[in-house]
Structure 1
Amino acid sequence: MTVIGFLSTAPVTEDSMAPAVANAIEALESHDVTYETGPMGTTIEADEIDELFAAVQAAHEAIDGDRVSTFLKIDDKRTSDDDAASKVDAVEEHLGRSAKSDE
Structure 2
Amino acid sequence: MTVVGFLSVAPVQQGSMAEEVANAVAALDDFDVVYETTPMGTTIEAADAATLFDAARAAHEAVDGDRVSTFLKVDDKRTREVSASEKVAAVERELGHPATSEREG
What secondary structure sits across from 2:98 in the alignment? Answer: coil
Letter in 1 for 2:47: D
- Paired position in structure 2 for 1:58: 58
- Paired position in structure 1 for 2:4: 4
Q: Distance in 2 between matches of 1:23 and 1:80?
A: 33
Give unpaired runs (5+ residues) of structure 1.
Answer: none
* Identity level (%): 63
Letter in 1 for 2:70: T
What secondary structure sits across from 1:60 in the alignment? Answer: helix
Give unpaired runs (5+ residues) of structure 2.
Answer: none
- Paired position in structure 1 for 2:69: 69
- Paired position in structure 2 for 1:26: 26
RMSD: 0.6
- Paired position in structure 2 for 1:83: 83
| Aligned residues between the structures | 103
Cα deviation per residue 1:3-51 (whole Å; 9 max; x = unaligned)? 0000000000012100000000000000010100000000000001000
What secondary structure sits across from 2:15 in the alignment? Answer: coil
Q: Give the alignment's TM-score, normalised by structure 2.
A: 0.96
Q: Give the alignment's TM-score, normalised by structure 1.
A: 0.98
